[in-house]
Amino acid sequence: MIERLAVGAYRGAMTAATAAAGLASRLPGAPARWQALGARLGRLSDDERALASGAPAVWLHAASVGELNAARPLLRRLRERFAERLCVVSTLTHTGLALARQSPEAHLALLLPLDAPGTVRRLLAHFQLEAFLFTETEIWPTLLAELAARGVPTFMVSGRLGPGTMRHARWLRPLYRHALACVDCCMQSEEDAQRILALGADPRRVQVAGSLKFDAAAADPPPDVLRLAAALGVRRMIVAGSTHQGEDELVLEAFRRVAAGRADLTLLLAPRHPERLAAVADLVRAAGFSLARYSELATVGEGRAPEVILLDVVGPLAHCYALGLIAFVGGSLVPVGGHNVLEPARAGRPVLVGPHTEHAADTVERLVAGGAALRVGSAESLAWALAGLLDEPVRMADMGRRARALVEGGQGAVERHLKIIAARLSMTRFARAAG
């Protein structure tokens, strides 16, 4: 009874929210973020409909750029194993969508529809789905229920549920239990497995498969990264990746302290959200630093990098970590929960993080315990950590080696996921043939 009420209330709320979003997206003079809601109403263009109806499909949903990059090796292997399938990729962000459209693994890329029954059914009706995969914590109850009703095998891949997520999710357990009833949950750790069971997942469908982020392959650097390397010349670079509002100021203050007396330093600052680029550029100028945008590096002479480079392009951050000496990973000095620490670790760089790393707690603790990462809590402590490492190159190199070794020791998740998915799909095809 409680479960039915929870599902009904959620679907009613999402239906109302979707109707409001559709109206807001069509208002004359509506802000850009309102207009963007129109892309999440489950509608496809004529060309997209023709492509969707042409072949059985495998669909991967990843919330944003980081999750998509982590899942691409798995999607690549699925394309090899299940040839002739249409590969659909969806995201929640426009930056993620831009990356998906550039990815050779995807035939069709789109934004995930708002989780209302009519919107979800409208979009699913276009596809002959053979499997649906979603990453980490992307539990959308209406979508998962509709997939189950259609008999589509559904997989949570690289599943993760932190303590913070559980504190909010426990109040919605009846809703999640209904949504997860037919989902095969491939979790990152034993702790994540126990948490998804606590939300009501079927114990027969929960396995520990590891984090796909450990297996993300290092691609060749794009030409822009090579131009950055040329612009740096002999300058030493610190990379601050995925920073948030309130954090950029702390990073710039730490850099000001460290750069005093070290004239060969450059900071590459990569805000998490592109819409903040102009505001961050203003902060850099107000701090008195020379500034260039990453996209403008073609106009910067060789060995003529400014004090601060603002990363204004989606995609190259992982390669930029490899050009730097030390990496600070953002979303951690402010209460966001932290971002991907594996990219700099894979590049063999020491990793600095703040106290707020709930989204990557297990990985961060492994790096800290293994002598590959340091925690900082303020601009002052960040400056001390940076200065200490820059003044001790042997220690800095040792931390980088430890970071890379820890990443390599965690690999193998793609193969474990692939075995689970292939086994379930084989069972489903056998059951359908027998029926």
Of 144, 75, 139, 151, which is closest to residue 425 (Cα–Cα)?
151
Strand partners, 375: 353
Q: Give me the half-sphere count of Cα atoms (radius 13 Å) on the Cβ side of residue 422.
A: 14
Q: What share of the chain is helix, strand, coil (3-state, %, to 5)?
A: 55, 15, 30
**What does the alpha-carbon distance between residue 10 and residue 8 come to, in Å, rounded to a whole number?**
5
Task: Calculate the alpha carbon distances from 211 to 152, 216, 415 in Å.
Answer: 24, 10, 11
DSSP structure class, residue 66: H
Q: Which of 3, 67, 84, 365 is catalytic?
A: 67
Of 288, 252, 289, 255, which is closest to residue 271 (Cα–Cα)?
252
Which residues, 6+ apart, have CB-to-CB distance to 320 below 8 Å? 225, 228, 239, 241, 268, 270, 311
Exposure of 164 by Cβ count < 10 A (0-12 exposed, 13-18 middle, 19+ buried)? middle
* Three-state secondary structure call for residue 106: coil
**What does the alpha-carbon distance between residue 20 and residue 34 come to, in Å, rounded to a whole number?**
10
Annotated catalytic residue 67: yes
**What does the alpha-carbon distance between residue 98 and residue 241 come to, in Å, rounded to a whole number?**
19
The catalytic site residues sit at: 67
